[in-house]
Structure 1
Amino acid sequence: IVEKNNFIIYLKNNYAAIKKKYKKTIAYSISKAAKQHFIYAKDDDIKKAVALYKLYNQKNMPHVKDTDYTNFKKLLLQLQKNNNVLVRKVENEKQELMSIALIIKDNKRYYNILNTTTEEGRKTEANYFLYNNILQELCNQNMLFDFEGSDLPGVKKFYEKFGAINQPYFYWHYNLLPKPLQWLKK
């Protein structure tokens, strides 16, 4: 059993109360992004969000096949019919996509499922702008914003800057291979 990170923010408070919990180090990033004249917008193009995520992440996830992405898009489209999917994006003044997030919701939580930031978006802190606006949009609800877990140091630090609380979960893996082969899987 391994403890894994999962970061959440309570949305029941107003935006000022949520922002008050941000780490001081985030102010520079949000300020830098604000100077870019970014546009925060709703989107409904699930396929674009998934395609961009695949483009930027497929080399790190070779085990995820095209059929997995296709099936995932089908699931998302079904969820979208019930208004359980949000796509939010940040564009620059030229309407070039800088950062995009795909969020699934149920009656208790918003789940941060996919997030992709372009190279230009990284340079201009677009992802800080995106999540600051998402939290501002979703505040004042009796819901949680679930960043989803990450044990990657940079991602973990990013979530913590927004004042997210670590609500760990436990991962259990059992190897069903025959004893002589189990050591190969370690």
Structure 2
Amino acid sequence: MLPAPSWKWAGLVITDEAGNYRAVMPIPLRKKRVFGIPYSWVVHQPFFCQFLGVFSPDKTLDPTPFIRLMQQYFRYGSRFCIHQSSGVIEPFAFERVDTKATQVLNLSLGYDALYQRYSRDRKQNLKRALAANWAIIESTDSEPLIMLFQANNTDGIDGGVANWAYDILRNLVAELGRRNLMTLHYACRNGRIEARALFVYEGNRIIYLFNAASDVGRRGNARTLLIDQMIQKKAGMELVFDFESPEKVSIREFYQSFGALEEPFYELRWSRLNAVERIGRAVMNWLR
């Protein structure tokens, strides 16, 4: 079993004359290891975080200097994802720049307009879910969420899921709960939890961060109901519903059946390692 990775955060900050923050770009760092010996902090996108960017109330702020400085200061970026609104990425400054996409809904349209964009199958499955009389429970307890995922969703993940990844999720849910930045809903039948959905609030976004369902939950379209209820609750507000889409085609098509549209973001990689560090990286890749 792989050991838990070492993580820490850095940040680039602009302050005003009084020392108040005007803009911040968080930078996640992970310590790479060779034969169990840590050798370097590298920029690496953390779990349960689709993309980052420059956070500022000033929407006219140019984020390009942040991106340049990060790439100049940290010599190796194994993976850093940034929202496209953060500006134009200069490909020549990076080893790789890949354009990815998430799926989003503009909730300001109102529920009637959003529902009309559901696919025919999605509308039919929603009707079936409503007829199934699911009991929907709001909770702050992440353990049923994790247990449901372990029992029903890990088989399709290459290499499985390490225990430390669940610890990260537990800590994340606890902290989000303390800050009132999440909603966790369970769908129950006959006293058993058969599906769950974790929604996280960030700025004007509602992020469908984590979900799982048993066979009963999938056949009963419980996740369709959980998503639709959140859309109904927030429809008409100046919010974006972000499905945080993976690259798996079947899942992306499921989200698109709610009328979701693609929203791009960038995945950046770069390297200015010295000879010894390049050897260490090659050894790590070979050991995998």
Q: TM-score, normalised by structure 2?
A: 0.58
Given that 1:99 and 1:127 are in contact with CA atoms closer than 8 Å, whether structure 2 keeps it comes out as: yes
Supply the distance in 1 between the matched residues of 2:287 and 2:119 (Cα, whole angstroms).
40
Residue equivalent to 2:131? 35
* 1:181 lines up with 2:282 in the alignment: yes
Q: 1:109, CA displacement in angstroms? A: 0.8
**Distance in 1, Cα, partners of 2:112 & 2:172:** 35
Aligned partner letter, 2:242: D
Q: What is the alpha-carbon distance in structure 2 between the residues aligned to residue 50 and residue 144 of structure 1?
A: 26
Q: Give 1:144 deviation, angstroms.
A: 1.0
Amino acid at match of 1:101: A
Alpha-carbon distance change, 179 to 100 in structure 1, aligned in 2, over 3 angstroms: closer
Preserved CA contact (<8 Å) 1:10 1:145: yes
For residue 145 of structure 2, what is the amino acid of its counterpart?
A
Deviation by residue 1:6-41 (Cα, 9 ceiling, x = unmatched): 011112232112112212221221122222111233
> Structure 1 residue 46 and structure 2 residue 147: aligned?
no
Indicate the residue corresponding to 1:142 in structure 2: 238
1:61 deviates by 5.3
Equivalent pair of 2:197/2:223 in contact (CA under 8 Å): no
* Alpha-carbon distance between aligned partners in 1 of 2:251 and 2:154, rounded to the nearest angstrom: 18
Cα contact 1:88–1:134 (8 A) shared by 2: no
Counterparts in 2 of 1:172 and 1:13: CA distance versus 1, 3 Å:
same
2:267 is aligned with 1:166:
no
Please state if 1:14 is matched with 2:110. yes
SS at match of 1:29: helix
Opposite residue 23 of structure 1, the aligned amino acid is S
Gapped regions of structure 1 (runs ≥ 5)? none
Question: Could you say what secondary structure the match of 2:118 adopts?
Answer: coil
Aligned counterpart, 1:152: 248
Give TM-score, length-normalised by structure 1. Answer: 0.86
Q: Percent identity?
A: 18
Give me the CA root mean square deviation.
2.6
Partners of 2:230 and 2:287 in 1: CA distance? 40
How far the C-alpha of 1:108 sits from its partner, in A, is: 1.4
Distance of 2:187 and 2:172 partners within structure 1: 24
> Which blocks of at least 5 consecutive residues in structure 2 are unaligned?
1-96
Any conservation in 1 of the 2:194–2:213 contact (CA below 8 Å)?
A: yes
Measure how far apart 1:180 and its partner are.
9.8
Q: Which residue pairs with 2:207 in the alignment?
A: 111
Deviates more, 1:108-117 or 1:15-24: 15-24
What code does the residue aligned with 1:35 have? A
The CA deviation string for residues 77-125 of structure 1, in whole angstroms up to 9 with x for no partner, is 1121110111012222x13222100111122111111110111111122
Q: CA deviation at 1:181?
A: 3.5
Could you say which structure has the greater relative contact order, defined with CA pairs below 8 angstroms and 6 or more residues apart?
A: 1
- Higher normalized strand content (fraction of residues): 2
Match of 2:177 among 63, 77, 80: 80
Q: CA deviation at 1:75?
A: 2.5
Count of residue correspondences: 185
Aligned counterparts of 1:63 and 1:174: Cα–Cα separation in 2: 27
**Contact 1:53–1:114 under 8 Å retained in 2:** no
Query: Relative to total residues, which structure has the larger helix share, 1 or 2?
Result: 1
C-alpha distance in structure 2 between counterparts of 1:153 and 1:180, whole Å: 31
Q: Indicate if the aligned counterparts of 1:46 and 1:102 stay in contact, CA closer than 8 A.
A: no
